[in-house]
Amino acid sequence: MVARIIPVDPFDLVIFGGTGDLARRKILPGLYRRLADGQMPPEARVVGAARSEIDDAGFRELVREALVEFIPDDVLDAETMDRFLALLHYVQIDAVGETGWNELKQQMRPGVVHVFYFSVGPSLFGPIAERLKHRGIADSDSRIVVEKPFGKDLASARELNESLACHFDETQIYRIDHYLGKETVQNLMAVRFGNMLFEPLWNSQYVDHIQITVAETVGVGGRGEYYDRSGAMRDMVQNHLLQLLCLIAMEPPARYDSDAVRDEKLKVIRALDAVAPDDIVRGQYAEGPDGPGYLEDVGNPRSRTECFLAMRLGVSNWRWAGTPFYLRTGKRLKARASEIAIVFKEAPHSIFDVPRGRHSNILSIRLQPNEGMQLGVTIKEPGPGGMRLIDVPLDMSFAEALGEQAEDIPDAYERLIMDVIRGNQTLFMRGDEVEAAWAWTDPVIAGWEARGHVPSRYDQGSSGPDDALMLLHRDGRRWREIRP
């Protein structure tokens, strides 16, 4: 079964920061794959815009090198590469200066979709938006894409929103959270709202608790200085993990359209409880045989920034009152694994004379690696010897269930860029959502800062600090194993 690819309309896509890491690693390779699959039309034009003194030929060479580096050899082919490079142009521009804007204007063709991707630091969002609008390069049909981090607190997020809102309507602004572009994340909505099976059970009466884990094996790498000013709460929880929580917790929207979905997500964020200090565990990986610790990595021996965070959250509404959500994310953990697990309650009474507390259904949704879903069900252990129960997975890994079609699943960035061209905002965060998320985040951070909290140390390659295990143990629950 091969997925039907519907080409998008012809477009001009300007990538501010076209020479940067994100453009080279994700955006441009993603576009290449969409061209190779026939989704990006041959009339498309991609314009790199940055300060580097290069021309079209220099940009094409830079992109050629990026494609060779970031696309597997068996996917890259010379003919598609040439077709792709021929669509590329470059304009030397300073986001905060006056040069280059006329040249950029000349690149924009009438009658095609115009998209401006701000793959630059947030301090440049306002200056770029202003110049695009005042110089008549963007109009009321143009779309802009902005990258994370969208602010570092409520005040800065508001400021950013305002700096964009001066020049663009909310329907033109696409705030990327690439977690929302993942196939399984969308499948989560399909499973919830496309089946009768789960939705009646999707509430505190039947769900014991929910775990969301995003574990990384890498440390802070070369981003030490940035990361140390941010930490796991701002870098991961406020955006990615909260967005996942919203998709699990939201009420069924009336339609699968951008405002209906985003309205429901917003209600969830507004229903989040404040988090008690006892319900938060913060950590930093210690120096170990595998490498330097967090403090050495960020070059700040007194840092109190967390690179591990686990917390217990409550959602105060009729559906979820009493069902905790446990969130956990961290660096240098034992495996790279992102998973959402819906842990259902035990059957109310066991007729099998087996101890209580052993068997409950778990729906696990795996975001990476090996995107897929698994439903754990309890069955009889085969063979003679009476009624003994075991839990086995009903597996639905995309690769097995969908064969060839699963191999063609586009990367999150590819899908999201194509959504921008199609004008579909469903998988992008709306301004009020981002602000509501910061409004919840700010007091939590202010709380631990006021207490002078010092993060716990944890071993590299572990599951995080021991206190994080206690967060569940004290509730009579346990974390799921972090498995690759």
Name the residue nearer to ligand NAP (CB basis): 98 or 400. 98
Give the β-pairing of 372-380 and 362-368: antiparallel
Least distance from C-beta 152 to ligand NAP, angstroms?
A: 11
Q: Does 229 bind ligand NAP (CB under 6 A)?
A: no
Name the residue nearer to ligand NAP (CB basis): 106 or 316. 106
Task: Measure CA 65 to chain center.
Answer: 27
Which ranges of 90-239 would DSSP assign to H, the alpha helix?
101-107, 125-134, 154-165, 183-194, 224-232
Range list of β-strands (E), 173-252:
173-175, 207-215
Name the residue nearer to ligand NAP (CB basis): 293 or 431. 431
Q: Does 71 bind ligand NAP (CB under 6 A)?
A: no
The Cα 443–Cα 449 span in angstroms is 10
Name the residue nearer to ligand NAP (CB basis): 118 or 320. 118
Adjacency order of strands within the sheet including 11-16: 88-92, 45-50, 11-16, 113-118, 143-146, 173-175
Bridge partners of 169? none
Stretch that binds ligand NAP, among 19-27, 284-292, 405-413, 437-445 (CB under 6 A): 19-27
Least distance from C-beta 270 to ligand NAP, angstroms?
A: 26
Q: Does 17 bind ligand NAP (CB under 6 A)?
A: yes
Q: Does 20 bind ligand NAP (CB under 6 A)?
A: yes
Least distance from C-beta 454 to ligand NAP, angstroms?
A: 27
The Cα 202–Cα 192 span in angstroms is 8
Question: Measured at CB, which residue is nearest to ligand NAP?
Answer: 20
The Cα 349–Cα 365 span in angstroms is 27
Q: Does 50 bind ligand NAP (CB under 6 A)?
A: yes
Among 17, 312, 285, 307, which Cα is nearest to 147's?
17
Residue 104 φ then ψ, to 5°? -65, -40
User: Are the C-beta atoms of residues 45 and 109 closer than 8 Å to each other?
Assistant: yes
One residue of 22, 335, 396, 469 binding ligand NAP per CB under 6 A: 22
User: Are the C-beta atoms of residues 338 and 368 closer than 8 Å to each other?
Assistant: yes
Which ranges of 108-182 would DSSP assign to H, the alpha helix?
125-134, 154-165
Stretch that binds ligand NAP, among 47-55, 137-145, 246-254, 465-473 (CB under 6 A): 47-55
Cβ-in-10-Å burial (0-12, 13-18, 19+) of 432 comes to middle
Q: Does 194 bind ligand NAP (CB under 6 A)?
A: no
Q: Does 215 bind ligand NAP (CB under 6 A)?
A: no
Among 268, 17, 217, 229, which Cα is nearest to 118's?
17
DSSP 394: E
Question: Per-residue x/- mask for ligand NAP, residues 118 to 157, rule CB under 6 A?
Answer: -xxxx-x----------------------xxx--------
Using DSSP's 3-state secondary structure scheme, residue 444 falls into helix
Bridge partners of 101? none
Least distance from C-beta 54 to ligand NAP, angstroms?
A: 8
One residue of 8, 14, 19, 313 binding ligand NAP per CB under 6 A: 19
Question: Per-residue x/- mask for ligand NAP, residues 87 to 116, rule CB under 6 A?
Answer: ------xxxx--------------------
Stretch that binds ligand NAP, among 12-20, 105-113, 265-273, 427-435 (CB under 6 A): 12-20
Catalytic-role residue among 114, 240, 359, 473: 240
One residue of 9, 21, 139, 225 binding ligand NAP per CB under 6 A: 21
- Is residue 240 annotated as a catalytic residue, yes or no? yes
The Cα 393–Cα 355 span in angstroms is 21
Active centre residues (catalytic): 240
Which residues are near ligand NAP by CB under 6 A?
16-23, 50-52, 93-96, 119-122, 124, 147-149
